[in-house]
A = this chain, B = another copy of it.
Amino acid sequence: MVKVQDKEEIILKAAMDVFVEKGLYGAKMQEIADKAGINKALLHYYYRSKNKLYEHIFRFIFTKITTDIIELMNTDLPFKEFLRYFISKYIDLLINNHKFPMFIMREISHGGKIASNVINDVIMNEMNCRYPVIDIIEDAMEKGEIIKMDPNQIIITVLGSCLFYFMGENIIRTVLLTEKSFDRNEFLEQRKDAIFKIIYYGISPR
């Protein structure tokens, strides 16, 4: 017989697939139950309501990617290497979780309670006010390695450049990257390099 913990994990995995794919409203409890190989009543037995289950999933995913990113920022590398390292590892992260950004953004853009509760919790716990990146960037500015500007502009440019491909992959592939021989892995390796070069030299003194 399947152990409780395993069963819980099976359910969670099924729920995650469906919610990530279709969002809160588009997901149906029946579909989740089917995917987990159980029936609806058991789903409610484990997770009292759709909203509870959804919040569970959202919290799990949001926490995972937040801690992953914070992990990436926790380094002593000098700025240039840090930037290269961060971009590369962040894109690796996205390759392995390519549907998460859209899922999170979709939920956040709704501005519902579920998202904001989780976000507040996670930010309270994981991030203590000031993130290390800001310090790393400001330090590099002090040393004259990069030009002075609002560090947030740099951060948003890095994140946006990395994320956009994954959020819009379908349309980008339809409109922009239309070659039949397109090699996703190769392109993403080039992408790491391009983002690093553009941004690093874009903020270097001239």
Interface-facing stretch out of A35-43, A135-143, A161-169: A161-169
A99 contact set on B, CB distance < 8 A: 109
Q: Mark A128-167, 1 if CB is under 8 A from B, else 0.
A: 0000000000000000000001101111110111111101
Interface contact B22-A22, CB-CB below 8 Å: no
Residue of B nearest to A198 (CB): B202
Interface contact B197-A202, CB-CB below 8 Å: yes
Q: Mark A176-206, 1 if CB is under 8 A from B, else 0.
A: 1100000000000011001101111111101
Interface contact A119-B171, CB-CB below 8 Å: yes
Interface contact B168-A152, CB-CB below 8 Å: no
The reply to whether the CB of A123 lies closer than 8 angstroms to some CB of chain B is: yes
Interface contact B202-A176, CB-CB below 8 Å: no
The reply to whether the CB of A105 lies closer than 8 angstroms to some CB of chain B is: yes
Q: Tell which of B127, B164, B177 touches A159, judged by Cβ atoms closer than 8 Å.
A: B164
Q: Tell which of B22, B170, B177, B203 touches A152, judged by Cβ atoms closer than 8 Å.
A: B177
Distance in Å: Cβ of A94 to nearest Cβ of chain B: 12
Query: A157 CA to B196 CA in the complex, in Å?
Result: 11
Q: Tell which of B102, B164, B170, B201 touches A201, judged by Cβ atoms closer than 8 Å.
A: B201
Q: Tell which of B153, B168, B202 touches A108, judged by Cβ atoms closer than 8 Å.
A: B168
Interface contact A127-B175, CB-CB below 8 Å: yes
Residue of B nearest to A200 (CB): B202
Given A25-B22, A109-B102, A174-B119, also A150-B201 (CB < 8 A): no
The reply to whether the CB of A3 lies closer than 8 angstroms to some CB of chain B is: no
A160 contact set on B, CB distance < 8 A: 160-165
